Amino acid sequence: MFRTFGAMDDFELRSSRPVLLLISPGLYLYSMVIGHLDPDRVELDWASEILSLLFLVVWLAPFFFTSWCQRYFGYIVFAALTIFAHYLIITTALNQFHLSYLLGTYVVLFGGILLLNHRIWIIIYTFSSFVHLLVQLRSADFSPSDGGAILLSLATIFVFSTFIQNGFIRYKYKLRKQNIDLESKIKQRTKAHEKQAKELSVKNRELEEFAYVVSHDMKSPLRYVHSLGTWILEDINDGRLEQGKVNLQLLMDQVPQMDLLVDGILKYSLGIEKKTVTTLLDLNEVLDGLIRANSSDKVVIEKDSSLPRLLLDKTQMIQVFQNLIQNAIKYNDKPIAYINIGVMDKIDRFTFYIQDNGMGIAPEHFDRVFKLFQKLDEDKRKDSSGIGLAVVNKIVSKNGGEIWLKSNEGEGTSFYFSFFKEDVLLNFGNKKIRRNHCPTRRAHEIMGFVLGAI
């Protein structure tokens, strides 16, 4: 509040400085003219010179202390004008309310109100000036009718000037509010454009990486097929039918591998976008079905905790859990694969985990496992396309989450992925705002979220 009363914007500073500058020489010249016309006048010693110098300093201050004046110049203007107004009232009273002094006082009081930038200053300025003038009139030898006329004329000036300035202040506040709203909209649009540019950049980078990886991984089996076709043709021409059969079988073995690559490309490129979901998905039903489908004598899958109901697409969540479960089964070198799945309910997010007792992953390969068609050097499986974890990573990212892993070679791997509650809980943001107004309601709503999620 202290800063609000003293703050002046650039327009107010620019418009008030010329007036303050004119007051300084105008006061001195006015005193000289009055002194010439009325040699018997009564003046306070050195008052006009000191006040002229004061207004000159006030006018110069914004040139040297710009940032400070933008915050506190309103106080300086109010103090200078108030001192000047009371000086004029005293001078007018000393000269028996002569018309020349009275008119000058009226002009300054009227102009002073127009220079003030806050209603509080206007109230203090007008009230103190009116009371001071009333006190001076009561102590002077004036008839009630003359004193009443002076007070009435002053009150009329105060009323009209206050109306004018009040309208200006109201219009100024309206413009300021419009400017704030406009700045807010500009910031929102800028933020939206930056987000779109960032998303476009990510998509372009993904497209470049996708095109490079596809061309690289598809060329390898095609070159192999071409070589095998050449060998088969040579075997037929040379009569080596048995060797031709072997090479033909090798050629046929490349077909499933190419089919796997094409299928992986389709899975990765199609249907992995954030979908608008309006109903909560029970992840327990999703996971329970996958546990039944993937469990066997050599695979034990346990659910450590109940999973929440979230705003997520069912098909995509099946892909996420299925790929992670299959990855834990496929890359397990133990007699029995143990897989544990659960969720950690944190303050602002849900963090899911899939833990296994498999062969583990070396730290230098942590980043590679989430990239398209990237398989570890020791992975020689023909049924692996290197697409599963890339699909999981893309689905989680498109839904505003993140995925990471922890692993020790020979001891197993733990995959984690998390979603912010504000993204996957119905009306989470609105309820969070309302909770701030009532601690009791906040506690009840938190319990309701927990029970609803369970």
The three-state (H, E, C) secondary structure of the chain, written as one string: CHHHHHCCCHHHHHHHHHHHHHHHHHHHHHHHHHHHHCCCCCCCCCHHHHHHHHHHHHHHHHHHCHHHHHHHHHHHHHHHHHHHHHHHHHHHHHCCCCHHHHHHHHHHHHHHHHHCCCHHHHHHHHHHHHHHHHHHHHHCCCCHHHHHHHHHHHHHHHHHHHHHHHHHHHHHHHHHHHHHHHHHHHHHHHHHHHHHHHHHHHHHHHHHHHHHHHHHHHHHHHHHHHHHHHHHHHHHHHCCHHHHHHHHHHHHHHHHHHHHHHHHHHHHHCCCCCCCCCCCEEHHHHHHHHHHHHCECCEEEEECCCCCEECCCHHHHHHHHHHHHHHHHHCCCCCCEEEEEEEEECCCEEEEEEEECCCCCCHHHCCHHHCCCCCCCCCCCCCCCCCHHHHHHHHHHHCCCEEEEEEECCCEEEEEEEEEHHHHCCCHHHHHHHHCCCHHHHHHHHHHHHHHHC
Mean pLDDT of 249-254: 76
Give pLDDT, residue 435.
41
Pick left, alpha or beta for residue 299 (phi over 0 → left; psi -120 to 50 → alpha; otherwise beta).
Answer: beta
- For the chain, where do the domains classified as CATH 3.30.565.10 start and end? 275-453
pTM over the 0.75 mark: no
Give pLDDT, residue 307.
93
Q: How confident is the model at residue 168 (pLDDT cuts 50, 70, 90)?
A: low
Q: How confident is the model at residue 349 (pLDDT cuts 50, 70, 90)?
A: very high
The average confidence (pLDDT) of the chain is: 76
Is residue 142 predicted with pLDDT exceeding 50? Answer: yes
Chain segment 58-106, per-residue pLDDT in tens:
878 777 777 776 677 778 888 888 888 888 888 888 887 777 777 777 7
Mean pLDDT of 396-406: 89
DSSP β-bridge partners for residue 415: 354, 405
Mean pLDDT of 126-138: 83
Please name which of 81, 98, 83 lies closest in space to residue 47, comparing C-alpha atoms: 83
Chain segment 170-217, per-residue pLDDT in tens:
666 677 778 788 888 888 888 888 888 887 887 777 676 666 556 655
Is residue 10 predicted with pLDDT exceeding 70? Answer: no
Give pLDDT, residue 434.
40
In this structure, CATH architecture of domain 275-453: 2-Layer Sandwich (3.30)
Give pLDDT, residue 272.
60
Q: How far apart are the first and last CA of the chain?
A: 47
Chain segment 308-332, per-residue pLDDT in tens:
999 898 888 888 898 899 889 988 8
